[in-house]
Structure 1
Amino acid sequence: MRRELILWSVMLGLIVVAFVTVVVVLNSTLYSSSGFVRSYLGALARNDMPAALEIADIRLPGANGAVSDDGSSAGPIDTTGAGSLLLSGSRELLQPSALSSVDDITVLRQQSNPDGTESVTVSFDLDGRPAQSTFTVTRSGSTFGVFADWDFVTPPLTIVRLTVSNAREFTANGTELVAPAQDVPAPYVVLTPSNIDVTHTSTFLKAEPILVSALEPGTTVRARLTVVANENMVAQVQREVNAYLDDCATQVVLFPTGCPFGQPIENRIVASPDWSIVEYPPVSLTPGSEPASWVMPPTDAAARLLVDVRSISDGSIFTFDENIGFRTSYVVTFLADDQLSITAQ
């Protein structure tokens, strides 16, 4: 009996030691501050936004507490913690289709701070590009009284203040969006870490893509996307300007009506003036003073005037044949169905 009691005591002791060992190991790995951060980044790596939001204690109104791909949501947002950041900008980029890919997660440093928090620095590949972030976390209790629970001190959210110059439409990580106003910074909330590829491509406009990196929680990143007229727009304006000037040249008067060129002649003309365009103005377009308008600045061109003239002084007839230089400028705006309105200034 005594031997059995000793045996049971030893077995119980071994079980207790094993349990304590498991708790210590789990609290230093899975339930450690670095394990908590790895769990969050792992959810991003799986493109599992609901899990990432739950781990980070970020609560978005909507189905299952997660934002949908159309950015829709309903209901109030807590104005503390993550909620205050969520209220700081648009949540249109908080959707699964806009997430960056996260791979090769490695914990670089795990540091205890004087205030009891811990800072975890992690490296990873973000959309195939090497990057790193530092997250500060704090103990928030325990599970079953033994496994540590953690919270982010600063929610893993970053504000991207994006200015879209000369347009409102843009694409961010494949998601088509419209800024509230042209040429005015607009805040967008994104998960940290994120790489946001921002660009614009349309029938008449283009932009050099920019990469916006959001790597530090609670910070603000500023970026500007500059939209310019593309080759298609310049070519179409050139065709229409050329056609307009050619039409002006068909008028058999010294000053074609509504046209940018003309020529006074002191003597009397004895035949119909014959105009032709010898130098078309090369089109270049810059942003106009009004939104969605583009301006062709005053540009040199030339028209040839050929007309027979009788001298008032001696009655002789001679041919006036000269190239008449002129300058022309236009304002271009957009119409429906990918059409342009071109107005002479």
Structure 2
Amino acid sequence: MRTYRNLLISALIVVVLTVAAVPLLNLTAYTPARAAEAYIAAIEKGDAERAFSYLSGPTPSSTLALNREVLSAAPDLPRDAQAETISTDGDHATVKLSYGLSSQTQSIELSMVKLPPSAGLFDRWAIEQEKWPTLNLEVSGSSTATVNGYSVAAGEVPVLFPATYLVGFDATYLKSKSERAEVTAPGDAPKIELSPEPTAKLEEAVSEQVTEHLQNCVKATTLYPAGCVFGYDTDNEILDDVSWSLTREPQISLTASGNDLELTPSTVEVRIKGRYRDIVTAAEHDFDETLSFVLGGSVVVRASQVSFEPRRLGDVSVK
């Protein structure tokens, strides 16, 4: 009985001491500055999940780059964080935070907000973000890119700060040099413009589509093959069907043009044969002519799909 009473008394003493210590701990250990330093420590370790517990903000539009894998693959992460609480006003505070990133010391002021207490006793502070820092990715000819080696959709990509990100493109059909982007504070939104270069695989895929398009066109038996960028103009009456053949294939190469990939203009020659009746003399004749035109077109890559839209540049000449 005495043992039970002693244990109860000991437990009560612990509770009393803990409750009595809470104000002191909230003033020394659970401060806005300590929360900011803990956040940076989590980022330094690549621990995105723990870093989230020190953030208060809107739901991100995308979480593709908000994970441990992307963060851990960053070429530079913060270190040597030091924070100082500048002011406190009820549930809000301002903290001055300094840290090292990419051989430079960064210093920013953060807005902090108090969250519901931990265990009902200890203060919890978080960095208040009105909006997420983002990488604004503009990628010519593609709807995706890579951040620290991981695929994301182009456009505004929410990320964690502070960190250095490598943005680029290296896929089956497109590749580009990596661009470095530093995100050092909430609200940062660096713009990265990428102009991926076509790979040999892409040129091969486009070449196959161009060849298929032209081969289908020359199967036609009319003066204006449906869906094709060439045709034969005449005022004479054409008798029966005509026949087409491809006599000069285009040279396939690709170039970037603004936000699109374009087929480099190349000369194509097709041959048309048939028989006509002269509208003046009514005499019938065979004809055999070669048409020359410049073929261009746009190329779009989405995920693993390649599409080619042919376009004729200039008029068709007849030899």
Task: Report the TM range for the smaller structure's normalisation.
Answer: 0.5 to 0.7
Equivalent residues in 2 for 1:58-97, closer than 5 Å: 58=55, 82-83=56-57, 86-87=58-59, 89-97=61-69
Match of 1:196 among 161, 165, 176: 165
In the other structure, the counterpart of 2:98 is: 121
Match of 1:168 among 143, 146, 164: 143
In the other structure, the counterpart of 2:43 is: 44
Q: Which moved more, 1:112-121 or 1:161-170?
A: 112-121
Q: Could you say if the C-alpha distance between residues 118 and 234 of structure 1 is closer, same or farther in structure 2, counting changes exceeding 3 Å?
A: same
Contact 2:164 2:183 in 1 (8 A): yes
1:233 is paired with a residue of what secondary structure?
Answer: helix
Structure 1 Cα separation of the partners of residues 268 and 181 of structure 2: 43
In the other structure, the counterpart of 1:186 is: 156
Contact 1:329 1:344 in 2 (8 A): yes
> 1:277 aligned to 2:251?
no
Structure 2 Cα separation of the partners of residues 102 and 226 of structure 1: 21
Q: Which amino acid aligns with 2:180?
A: L
Match of 1:130 among 103, 109, 126: 103
Structure 2 Cα separation of the partners of residues 220 and 246 of structure 1: 52
Please state how far the C-alpha of 1:278 moved relative to its aligned partner.
Answer: 3.2
Structure 1 Cα separation of the partners of residues 78 and 231 of structure 2: 67
In the other structure, the counterpart of 1:219 is: 187
Q: Structure 1 vs Structure 2: percent identity of aligned residues?
A: 15
Contact 2:270 2:291 in 1 (8 A): yes
Structure 1 Cα separation of the partners of residues 306 and 112 of structure 2: 61
Contact 2:31 2:125 in 1 (8 A): no
Q: Deviations over 1:123-164 (max 9, x none)?
A: 24xxxx4343224369999xxxxxxx9956656985115244
2:204 is paired with a residue of what secondary structure?
Answer: helix
Q: Deviations over 1:8-40 (max 9, x none)?
A: xxxxxxxxxxxxxxxxxxx8xx99998775554
Aligned residues: 261
TM-score by length of 2: 0.55
> 1:159 aligned to 2:133?
yes
Please state how far the C-alpha of 1:172 moved relative to its aligned partner.
Answer: 1.9
In the other structure, the counterpart of 1:324 is: 291
Q: Deviations over 1:50-105 (max 9, x none)?
A: 44444xx32xxxxxxxxxxxxxxxxxxxxxxx22xx33643443221121365683
Structure 2: stretches of 5+ with no match in the other structure: 1-27, 115-122, 312-319
Please state how far the C-alpha of 1:279 moved relative to its aligned partner.
Answer: 5.4
Q: Could you say if the C-alpha distance between residues 94 and 300 of structure 1 is closer, same or farther in structure 2, counting changes exceeding 3 Å?
A: same
Q: Deviations over 1:157-209 (max 9, x none)?
A: 85115244443333222333335xxxxx4351x32211222233333334443
Q: Which amino acid aligns with 1:220?
A: D
Select the structure that is richer in strand.
2
2:106 is paired with a residue of what secondary structure?
Answer: strand
Q: Could you say if the C-alpha distance between residues 306 and 294 of structure 1 is closer, same or farther in structure 2, counting changes exceeding 3 Å?
A: same
Q: Could you say if the C-alpha distance between residues 178 and 153 of structure 1 is closer, same or farther in structure 2, counting changes exceeding 3 Å?
A: closer
Contact 1:94 1:191 in 2 (8 A): yes
Contact 2:75 2:166 in 1 (8 A): no
Please state how far the C-alpha of 1:340 moved relative to its aligned partner.
Answer: 4.5
Contact 2:43 2:77 in 1 (8 A): no
Q: Could you say if the C-alpha distance between residues 137 and 162 of structure 1 is closer, same or farther in structure 2, counting changes exceeding 3 Å?
A: closer
Structure 2 Cα separation of the partners of residues 279 and 223 of structure 1: 41
Which gives a bigger RCO, structure 1 or 2 (Cα 8 Å, sep 6+)? 2
Contact 1:41 1:102 in 2 (8 A): no
1:87 is paired with a residue of what secondary structure?
Answer: coil
